[in-house]
Each structure stands twice: as C-alpha cells, then as structure tokens.
Amino acid sequence: MGATSATEFTVGVSRDFLDADGRNVWGDIRLGELDAAGIDWHYLPRDTGELLGKDVDGLDAVLFAGPAVTARTFEGAGRPPLLFARFGVGYDTVDLGACTRNGALVTITPDGARRPVATAALTLLLAVLHNVTAKDRLVREGRWAEKEQWMGLGLTGRRVGLIGLGNTARDLVGLLRPFEADIVAYDPYCPPEVASGLGVRLADVDTVMAEADAVIVMCALTEETRHLVDARRMSLMKPTAVLLNVARGPIVDEAALIEALRVRRIRGAGLDVFESEPPALDNPLLGMDNVVLSPHALAWTDEMSAGNGGSAVRAVLEVAAGRVPPFVVNRDVVDSPRLIGRLAELTARHGTPAGAGA
C-alpha cells in the first residue's frame, strides 16, 4: 500500500474480511490489483456491523462485505465516499436512498458470484435429494443398518422450480441441462423471450410451488419478496417435493417451513440462509434429518473470492478513473450533480472521458 497524499484515490476495505490474526479469511480477493494501479488502500480500523461517518470520512471508495450502509454512514462525513462496492450480490442492508441523496454509487458483483452460487445451489439440491445429512449421521452414529430408510430421489427428469430467474438462476439452468430437468420459474421481471431462450417456462409463484419436485429460492430480498414462500404456498407443494433457499432467509417463512417439515408435508429442505443468522441453537431445523444446512457459506470457495473481489476492485478502478462502473444498483444517482462533479475531478486528473463505462 502506497503512502497517502491529498491527490490520491483512497479506498477503505471493511475489517470483517480479517480474522483475529489479521489474515483475510477470504484469501485472494484481488486487492493486489489496487496496488498495481497505484491505489492507496487500507483496512478500516473498526470491525463494525454498521459503517458510520467517522469510518468512511475522507475515503473515495469503500469495498465492503458485511457492514450495513445507512443514513448514519453519511452523518459527520464531510467528504463521503463516491462508491460503496459490495463484495456480493445482496444489498438489503444498504440504504440506497441515503446513498443516492449523498451522491454515492452502490455496486454489487453478479459477475463474480454467478457461477459459485449456481454451483452451490446444485450441490445443495443433490445433497437434499440424496439425503446426505441423514446418511452422514448413520455412519458417524453406528446406525449403518438403517440406510434402507433413506432412499434418495434422482434428479434426472425431475421438474425444478426457480423463484427468481436472474443471472445466477440462469447459470443454474445451464448446469441442470445434463439432468434433463424440466424447469419452471417465477420472475415477474424476466423478459419472456429470455426465459424461452433458456428453455424455461414462466409461471406464477403458486404454479411453481405446486408443480415442482424441487423449489429453489434465488431471488433478491425486497419488501415484495419477504415471506413470499409462506405457509399457504408451502401447502401447495407435493409431499415428495423439497424446498431450497440460497438467496436470503426472510424470503421463506421459517416457522412455516419448520412445521411443514415436522408433519412431513414436504420431503425435505436445504438452507444456506436463515431468517436470523446464525440460527439459535434450539432452532428445530438443527435437529432434523431431512434438512441440509450451511452457514451462509456454501458458495464460499476460492472461485467466489476471486470473482467477487475482482468485480468489486474493477468497480473501484473505474470510479478512480472518473467512470461509472457496471452493476450500479442505485441508477438514479448517475445523474446526480454531486456525483458528476466529483467524477469530473477524477477525469481531469486521469484524462479519461467523464462517465465513460456507464
């Protein structure tokens, strides 16, 4: 990391990337590309669940994973960052309105997360269908003879229902092709021609829930999708069907899911996310054999680290050159005079066309 000067572009990296010994738990997230570009960067001094004005004041950009970005992030920050580059695709803890009002771009990393999350979804699907958790326990607990009780389901020719048909789900569609799965999806924002080109049939959410042998939640968490998968919709599922969530916990009504699993209304579930993370130790899900669980880390691989990190770093480098990066989620800010003025300053410094790359 270079020495700081008044003319340098300065980046803060959230401290939740580090373990107690100061090592980046994600491994190589491509921060070396900032060094190679002569960008001054440092880890933020505080490990915090919410970025405050004192944490970000004077920074040009923040590359972050876990901390929330709220209205308080801008309070007391005389010179708030131009960019909040999220390491990941979720932004439910980011106050987009506050960022837009303060002329700050928010980016995510769909290009980096797409394949790792799609692969994780396929992994979880196969684990649930093959009763991996239950069979693992049989061996560990000396219950080998009970294996006949845990015959799995093959994926080939099954109907897979997707709640959300964004980039990651579309990647999963490709991974499912060798299994000759029939795919039906709910996504009111997906153009019909895109779904048709993928060989996916679009339907309303109730139809997806009722027809699928496996329902996989892959949509973003919004007020529209909170508890989208509730008790009524779970009651529509086949008793042989399974439910997976690799998106955000609150999209599924967890209490309703626990009840559906308890009375065997559905066959099983696979969860990489929970309504409350981490789940309480007395959460009934933790004791169920027909559930495969992961601590919101199933896609946590070196591929994910490099992909998310590289995408976030590229967003930083674009802004440092005075350009609007790809994958901005608060697009309204692009026309903000405050943002345009600060980008123009960077453009003058680097001699690049203002707004190029938008």
Residues known to be catalytic: 248, 277, 296
Q: Which residue has the tokens 């572009």?
A: 9
* Closest to 248 in 3D by CA, of 135, 136, 89: 89
Q: Following DSSP, what letter does each residue of 51-62 receive, concatenated?
A: E-HHHHTT-SEE
Q: How far is CA 268 from CA 232, 242, 273, 294, in A?
A: 17, 5, 15, 15
* Number of neighbouring beta carbons within 10 Å of residue 208: 27
The C-alpha angle with vertex 302 and arms to 297 and 308, in degrees rounded to 5, equals 75
d(CA 125, CA 285): 17
Q: Following DSSP, what letter does each residue of 301-345 receive, concatenated?
A: SHHHHHHHHHHHHHHHHHHHTT-PPS-BS-GGGGG-HHHHHHHHH
| Residue 247, both tokens | 């998106």
Amino acid identity at 278: P
**Which 3-state string (H, E, C) describes 223-246?**
CCCCCCECHHHHHCCCCCCEEEEC
State the DSSP H helix or E strand holding residue 106, giving kind and residue range, or none if neither.
strand 105-107
CA 33 to chain centre: 23
> Most distant CA pair in the chain: distance in Å?
73
Cβ pair 39, 9 in contact under 8 A: yes
d(CA 352, CA 345): 10
CA 179 to chain centre: 25
d(CA 158, CA 122): 13
**Phi and psi dihedrals of 3, rounded to 5?**
-75, 145
* Number of neighbouring beta carbons within 10 Å of residue 111: 16
Q: Which residue has the tokens 């770093």?
A: 313
